[in-house]
Each structure stands twice: as structure tokens, then as C-alpha cells.
Chains A and B, each alone.
Chain A
Amino acid sequence: MFSTNAISDMAIDLAGSSHLDYSPTVQVIAIPCSSGINPTWITHAVEAGFDGVFVAADGGECAYIPDCTARTGRLVEQAQSLLTKSGSDARRVKMGALCSVCSDAFVNHMKQFGRELEELRATAAAA
């Protein structure tokens, strides 16, 4: 999971401070802004063995760029098409907006994404 130093990483900190429960398999790399993610980092994470990559964008809160969400959306799409080309399921990458105090939203995203990845695994195993 990629978070942003100033905004979404604060929400993840807050989730911990509030002892909200989520899977310990969730591991976070914090970066300055989600618009600065190189799509190849995402594909690298999937190839390296992560089940999924979640990009926690800032929504409207980004202090750097007003259209940060649109830019992040484009690079996530790029990563998805790279994954599709290499035979992976594009749904293993997901993007969501987390404000600096959105700790509940973060935990819900993790639970939901965890379930989706579980289903993907089950379908892949059955096929």
C-alpha cells in the first residue's frame, strides 16, 4: 500500500492510535504525493509477491496539486494495463481516497480489498 506523508499516512497512524483492527499483512510505504508513484513500482510489488497494491490518494486534500486524484487515477490505470499485459489481474491494484483523519475509511478499505483479493485468489485457484 502506498500512502502520502502529509495526508493518508496520518489516517493510517490514526487507525493505529485508535487500535482499529486490520490485517498485519497490510504494509505501507509512505511517499510525498500519490501523483508521484511510478506505475512500475506497483507492477514490481505484484511481481515480487504482494497479492495487491492499494494506492491511498488524498482526494481533494492534496496540498501539492489540485487535480491530484485525476493524475493518480491515470497512473493507476497505467499500472493496471501493465499488469494485464503481463498476465496478472488488473483488479489487484486499487485506488481510494483517504483524508488525514479517515481512519475508519482506511480500515474499511483494507477489509474490502482483502476480501476482493481473497476472491481473486479463489477464482484463480479454481481455474
Chain B
Amino acid sequence: MTEEPPRRIGVMICQCGGNISDYVDTEKVRAEVAKQGDVVATRVEMFACSDSAQESMVQMIREKKLDGVVVCSCSPKLHLSTFRAMTQRGGLNPYEYTQVNIREQCSWAHTHDKPAATEKALRLVRAGVAKTALSTPLERMRVETIPQVLVIGAGIAGLRAALALSDLGISVHLIEKAPEPGGHVARWGRVFPNDKDGRGLIDTLVREVRARENIVLYLGTELTEMSGRIGSFRVKVRTPTAETISLNVGSIVVATGFETYAPKPGELGFGLEGVVTLPELKELLATNPSRLEYHGKAVRSIAYVYCVGSREEGSETNLRTYCSRYCCSATSHIATVITGMDPGIRQFHLFRDIRTYGKYEAIYERALRGGSVFLRFGEEAPPSVTSENGQLVVKVKDRLMAGEEVELRPDLVVLVTGMVPREDGEVARVLKIPIGKDGFFHEIHVKLRPVETVVDGVFIAGAAQGPKNLAESVTSSMAAVSKAAALLLKGYVDLDPMVAEVNPDLCAWCDACTLACPYGAVEKVDHGGTAVARINGILCKGEGACVPVCPKQAVSVKGYTNDQVRSMIDALVQEVA
């Protein structure tokens, strides 16, 4: 190791406009790191990510003939790819670049102690230099992608996704667990914002889907297995006849939607005759659009109770702290539909806050003008719903009347129930995509990487990601389509080269890595007459499960080799003058 020629590493330290330099003495860090062996150039920048700073760095790479680059700035989650690209523009291999996080994991964390933060920053930078000194150029592996997508769920989001992908010339396998397509929207009757009929909307989409040659719709069908990787997934689905079909797809769009919150027995009178949920009322209206009847009796007055199952006080077991977004607008819209049917039906809305945001405000306005009465209650004093001799009695303390109790005797009580995540965790289990704290699928980043999951090539569309109204579901579905299509229309994908590799001179083929590998990436090959393990880099995900099990220390993940990690550890504990 000592015989190797010294490296020529350049280090750029970012002040982040004070976010770093207010708590870390960046000039001191620069001066100290400049003394390190292997470091031949250093600079401090106000904003390392700015075009001008990157341009100066590109020049420095060329002028100083650098063979490795370290940028000490923010979290690699933000700018790793930015600076890898910069390194590449300087003519180096992008994997000769190391990002050191001295903002989120240093300056911002230790704002009260500048000397300690400065010392820690220096240690972190040294570790970054140590890692880079042992870096090797790595090549991304280019593999072809299969121009087919598996869309899971044939509700509004899944149907729209299938059609949009088909428009782009990408074949779609659309699977739906239920025996009929359409999800919630098919049962909902007239829906906001355009007052279209949900059934009609779905029928139009399904007709179109069935007419497309490049869409196959599988009903009553569930996902059972998934293997492979971005660009080439192998999935298995089970049809209603228990037949298993194997499919090869380049990407997967998860549009499994939501479930409606089911109130607990007795919650706000749930279980009493005449107490229904919002979707039940929608279905009632959808089946008989001309007359509002419940169990054969005409309904002349309705009390809606808002925020049932939404915006609750959080606890270890209850995570429904979120607003379900669609219910205020949906209920205001229903009120206008009912008024249109019979203006004589009296409607009382018991709400906490009305969130008919954006253009949906007009719907609330229409409901008000139609004669709906809105009564506001406080979270601490929810209404009570009881029954006296078969007559529903609703009591609510109206905030506008200084908490005066108002008693209503409606024919129907509608619990405005929110959205909850699907309980069936099978899709998440098979695809290995994470679930967020609220129980919905977790997208990587709401702004930087929306609809993406940590499993490359698997995208989330619609309310499976979180409460959304119909329009928002379709919008997110289009986002997922564009991500999937952008990936597949290119025809290839460059895989991360940070995969495991075996040193064949150390390997004694004991099978331990084969057993540890969940992806079947280990192959047995011949190496000068002896059997050794070799990693198939296309199947390997680079997590390193094979690393700790090897008795010969023959396996490591590129970019995280034993030498690299040990030298980082040594650099972290090195004395700070």
C-alpha cells in the first residue's frame, strides 16, 4: 500500500452562505486539511453548488491534475449527484468523488459550540479524504429496459396511468384485486369538481382500456412475487382461477388507493338506524338519483358530522392526525346535489374547520347559498348522536353562539369519514416499499423525488401515497407515468456500480455468501482450477449482506471496502492540533 504513488485530491469546503461558516471555521478546516498527504488543492466557497463555484472546481481539477475530489457541504441526499456530475465534467470518474456532510451532521447540529463543530468538521473531511484516497474508478452498468409496466390497482389513478402509458407506446399489465374495475369512484355517483357521474367516468375509461391492444386488464388478480430490478422486474400474479402468470416488466406503478375510515361501533352514533358514512350516502344517491330515501323512508333533514377519522390526536397506536383533504369539498358538493334534487331538504353541517381549498371554495359557496347551515364545534367538544324512540338526536355546542348547545332531530346523520391506508400489506411486502408513519406508502421526497420509492423503478400513484381528491390522484398518477415512461423510453438504465465484489484469491467457496444473498447474485465460477464466488453486478443491490458472513474477508462492496472504512475510522480519531 505504501508503495502506491500519492493521490492528487482536491477539497472544496462550502460555507453555505453562513449555514456552515457561522458555526464551523471553514478557513481553519481548509488550512488543516491542506496539510494532509494526498491533498494538493483546497478552496473555500460561499456556495459550492453555485455554477461559478462548480466551474472553478472543474478548472481546478484540470489545472492541478486532480485524481480525486471531496466537497464538504450539505447532505449527500441533496447534492451527491450534482458534484459527481461536476467531477465528471472535470474529466474524472464520478466515483472518485466523495461528499462530506458538514451541514446537517455538523454545523446545524452543533450550533452552540463552534470550536467543537470545527474540530468535528475537520475529522469528517479527513475521513472523506481517506476514503477518496482509496477510491477506484467505477463504471455504471448499462442494461436494457423492458418497455412494459405493471400497474397495480384499476381505480381512477390506475386506469388513467394505464391509458397514459399506452398513449406513449408502452405496454401495460393492469391488475385489479376486485372482480370489477373502478375502485371507489365507480360507486360514488356525481363527484366534484365537475359534477360528473363517477360510474360514467369509470365506464368511459374502462371501455377505452379494453379497446387498447397494448393494455391487458386482469380482474380479481393479485401480485404474489417480485424479483429483478429497475428496467427488468419479474413479477408473478395470481388470477381468480388460482393460475399464476409470470410477467416481465420494466417498471411498476402502485395505485392501490385507500380505504374509507370505518367508525368504531357507537362512535358518533355509528350503528344506530339512520347513521351512515359519507361513501354510504354517495352510494345511496348513486342508486337513486331522483329521490333521497333511507330504508324506504323519505329523508327531509340531514346532519353531517365532519372530520370523522381525520385530524385526530396522535398516539402510539393512532396515526390519523392528517386531514383527508377530499371530504370537506365532497360533502359541500353532495349538499349542492341534494339541494338540486329537493331544495326543501334541510342540511346541517357540523364542522371543525372547512377546508374547501383553492377552487373548491366555490363549491362551499354554492352549498351556503343553497341553504346549508354550518355549525362549528371545537375539537374538545364533539357532537353527540343518540336515538330517542327511533328519532335521531344530535347535540352540538356551536362556537359561533359561544358554546350554546344546539339540538337537531335529523332523519339522517352522515359521518364524514376520511381516508385510511389499506390494511392489506401484501403489496408493500412483495415490493419491499416502505410505509410512512401515517400508514400510506412513503415517497422519497415530496419536492425532490415525488412518487418515487426507495425501490428504483417502483412508483406510487394516487391515494396510496396519502389522502388525495380525485383530481389530485390523477395528477400524481400522471407524475408516476412520466417517471416510468422517462425511464423506459430511453431503452436502457445505468445501474449504480457500488455492488459487491469477491477477491478470488481470498475466496475458498464456502457458500456463506450465496446463502446470505437475498437476490441470487452469487455465482460459482472457476478461478485457476479452484471454485470461487463471483457477484453478478446486475443482480446485486450493493447492500452488502454477504460482507459480514465471509470467513475469509474476501467480499466487499465497492466504495465501502474494508480498507476504505478502516482508513475513515482512523481519520476520524486522528489527533486534531
- Give the interface of A toward B (CB within 8 A): 5-6, 9-10, 12-17, 19-22, 24-25, 27-33, 35-41, 44-45, 48-50, 61, 63-66, 71, 74-75, 78, 99-101
Q: A36-B557, A64-B541 are in contact. Are A27 and B547 (CB under 8 A)?
A: no
B110 near A: Cβ within 8 Å? yes
Which of B117, B543, B560 contacts A24 (CB under 8 A)? B117
Residues of B contacting A48 in the complex (Cβ-Cβ under 8 angstroms):
569-570, 573
| Nearest 7 A/B pairs, CB to CB | A36-B544, A33-B543, A16-B104, A64-B543, A13-B104, A24-B116, A16-B108
B560 touches A32 (CB 8 A): yes
Closest-CB distance, A76 to chain B (whole angstroms): 10
Residues of A contacting B542 in the complex (Cβ-Cβ under 8 angstroms):
32
Residues of B contacting A38 in the complex (Cβ-Cβ under 8 angstroms):
547-548, 553, 556, 562, 565
| Binding-face segment, B120-128, B207-215, B376-384 | B120-128
The complex places the Cα of A47 from the Cα of B504 at a distance, in Å, of 29
Q: A21-B112, A65-B518 are in contact. Are A41 and B544 (CB under 8 A)?
A: no
The complex places the Cα of A15 from the Cα of B123 at a distance, in Å, of 20
The complex places the Cα of A49 from the Cα of B123 at a distance, in Å, of 14
B553 touches A35 (CB 8 A): no
Closest-CB distance, A24 to chain B (whole angstroms): 4
529-577 of chain B: CB within 8 A of chain A: 541-548, 553, 556-557, 560, 562, 565-566, 568-570, 572-573
Closest-CB distance, A63 to chain B (whole angstroms): 4
The complex places the Cα of A17 from the Cα of B547 at a distance, in Å, of 32
Residues of A contacting B572 in the complex (Cβ-Cβ under 8 angstroms):
27, 29, 50
496-527 of chain B: CB within 8 A of chain A: 498, 516, 518
B373 near A: Cβ within 8 Å? no
The complex places the Cα of A40 from the Cα of B103 at a distance, in Å, of 29
Residues of B contacting A65 in the complex (Cβ-Cβ under 8 angstroms):
518, 543, 545
Q: Can you list 12 contacts pairing A with B, beta carbon distance less than 8 Å?
A: A12-B104, A13-B104, A17-B104, A24-B120, A31-B557, A32-B544, A35-B544, A36-B543, A50-B569, A50-B573, A63-B434, A99-B437
Which of B117, B442, B562 contacts A40 (CB under 8 A)? B562
The complex places the Cα of A39 from the Cα of B541 at a distance, in Å, of 20
Chain B interface category by residue count: 35 or more
B547 touches A37 (CB 8 A): yes
Which of B106, B432, B548 contacts A36 (CB under 8 A)? B548
> Beyond A24-B113, A24-B117, A31-B544: 19 further Cβ-contacts under 8 Å?
A16-B103, A24-B106, A24-B116, A24-B120, A27-B120, A27-B572, A28-B105, A32-B498, A32-B542, A32-B543, A36-B544, A36-B545, A38-B547, A45-B569, A63-B432, A65-B518, A65-B545, A66-B429, A66-B432
Residues of B contacting A12 in the complex (Cβ-Cβ under 8 angstroms):
104-105
B548 touches A75 (CB 8 A): yes
Per-position 1/0 for B440-482, Cβ under 8 A of A: 0010000000000011000000000000000000000000000
Q: A13-B105, A44-B566 are in contact. Are A24 and B518 (CB under 8 A)?
A: no
Residues of B contacting A41 in the complex (Cβ-Cβ under 8 angstroms):
562, 565-566, 569
Q: A13-B101, A32-B557 are in contact. Are A19 and B108 (CB under 8 A)?
A: yes
Per-position 1/0 for B418-434, Cβ under 8 A of A: 00000000000100111
Residues of A contacting B112 in the complex (Cβ-Cβ under 8 angstroms):
21
B82 near A: Cβ within 8 Å? no
The complex places the Cα of A33 from the Cα of B500 at a distance, in Å, of 12
A64 touches B545 (CB 8 A): yes
Residues of B contacting A25 in the complex (Cβ-Cβ under 8 angstroms):
116, 120
In the complex, residue of chain B having the shortest beta-carbon distance to the beta carbon of A29:
B568
Residues of A contacting B573 in the complex (Cβ-Cβ under 8 angstroms):
45, 48-50
Closest-CB distance, A23 to chain B (whole angstroms): 8
Q: A38-B548, A50-B573, A65-B545 are in contact. Are A16 and B562 (CB under 8 A)?
A: no
Q: A17-B104, A49-B573, A71-B545 are in contact. Are A29 and B110 (CB under 8 A)?
A: no
The complex places the Cα of A38 from the Cα of B513 at a distance, in Å, of 13
B109 near A: Cβ within 8 Å? yes
